[in-house]
Amino acid sequence: TGITFEALLLPPGLRKYTPPLMDNRQDIIVTVHCPMKIMGKGRFTDDELLTECHIIADSITSMNEKSTVYCDMLQAKVDALMFNSEAYKWLNSRLDVRPSFAVHAKRIVAAVISLLQREGLLQDRKELLHSIDERLPVNFNLSDMIEDLKWASVEGFGNLLKSGGLGDDDAEYDAIRNAWYSRVSSYVTHCLDGGLLGSSLTLKLILASLCELRSPSVRESISCLLRFILHLRPRDVEKPYQAGDVRHLSGENGSLINYTFNAHVMEVLIETDTLMWVVGIDAMPSGGCAAGALFSLTNRLSPAMVLSNVFGHRDSTRSLKMCICRKISEMTQTEEITVASSGSTTPGSADQPETQGKPLELLAATLLQLLRKDKCVLLRAQVSATLTGIISADKSMKKPLAEAGLMKLAVDLLDIKDDGLLLAALRLLECVVDEPDMRKMLSSRRGVLHPTVEIIKSNCDT
């Protein structure tokens, strides 16, 4: 509805300057964020919001011997799919609370189980279906089932999802409907990734079976499902989700910045080498991506462009960025690659368009930017190792990275006292040691010699 509540527990230490009887008390601040346009429509009164704040404070106060769970309120929030995967697991195991929408999600899971069984990839279909209290589904068309989820009725929440339920404000209705569909996608992801059947059915297990799918129709159904749970959609919730928006992952004009996606699903797709198939770069889910594809100058739909766009996106978690770095490192752990186009082995050859090296350079620039700004030592070490792999595989990347300040940045990393990062920074410097700028840094006061000597001293027996 647009209203959010926040509860803040203030530490007891803030009371240390108050009278002695108050020095062990803990304050609770409950704040309400309510848009005036909602208040103006008369849906809620000040007293109703104040009562909600009292209930929230009572449920977490340290004065209660036992915490009180308001099941009706909790069930309403669960039915609205307002939680993440970990919360759903906790609520199911501890409080036996689950969404009313689960019945619709189970049908999707049952259809996936049946499709995989028809391809000979699952042997215990009956046991799995029995575990989730589902019969053999009649409809195997995942595309139609996914579209039906947008209009699925949910007890206690359906009125807000019906057209006209909010008066004449169509934009507000669209925003609520689209936000609901996004949460549906997250819950379906939870159900497919161990939320219903544990390790018997996970997202990685489904993706691992894609290479063995024989039927084109089954592959298309699974592809539709993957695009739905990835749920790359406009950041503006008044605009609807469209499966074709996945093309923005390979866009060169920065259009992905206006979109959001499920970071966990993105990470699993990258780990299992499935993302390029979902985007449309690979014709088949091959189960691997060769280094030649990453360094290709002729493929306009470059994996380097996709990884660069995802890596630099603000929705990308550190876990996702680490995953991308590991994947690039895997793709570059080969012998030196000859980057060629139309018989030329020189990246700067005159018969090549100026933009042909752009995707890989953009990826390297994005990695360099994160190396400069992010403060996570583990991530910076992984990025340094990834840049080392790119330079080792494609020597032509030395110059643009050196011009972008790679060497000075690597030298600055030597001042951070972390063994993993120091080793990664030294290996990165080793790759560019023959560059002219590197020789200048050897003789400068802020050069590489002083931190290197300090590293040697700190690791020698004294």
> For 10-49, how does the pLDDT look when each residue is reduced to its tens digit (9 = 90+)?
555 555 554 444 445 556 777 888 777 767 776 777 888 8
The yes-or-no verdict on residue 189 having pLDDT over 90 is yes
Give ranges for CATH 1.25.10.10 in the chain. 289-434
d(CA 238, CA 170): 9
Give the residue-averaged pLDDT of 64-72: 67
Q: Which residue has the tokens 């985007």?
A: 279
Beta strands in 145-263 (DSSP E): 233-234, 259-260
Please say whether the dihedral angle defined by the alpha carbons of residues 289, 360, 344 and 405, taken in this order, is positive or negative.
negative
The predicted pLDDT at position 456 comes to: 60
| 71-75, 197-201, 390-394, 439-443: least confidently modelled range | 439-443
Class of domain 289-434: mainly alpha
The yes-or-no verdict on residue 184 having pLDDT over 80 is yes
d(CA 361, CA 359): 5
Q: Which residue has the tokens 């001293």?
A: 457
Helix (H) or strand (E) segment spanning residue 265: helix 263-271
How much of the chain exceeds pLDDT 90, in percent? 20
Q: Model confidence over 425-454: pLDDT tens digits?
A: 888 888 877 766 655 655 555 566 566 656
Give the residue-averaged pLDDT of 97-108: 89
SS3 30: strand
Contact 95, 115 (CB under 8 A): no
The predicted pLDDT at position 53 comes to: 80
| 98-107, 249-258, 267-276, 444-453: least confidently modelled range | 444-453
The pLDDT mean for the chain works out to: 77
| 50-64, 101-115, 226-240: least confidently modelled range | 50-64
| pTM of the entire predicted model | 0.76
Tokens for 11?
């530490």
d(CA 175, CA 160): 11
Helix (H) or strand (E) segment spanning residue 326: helix 318-332
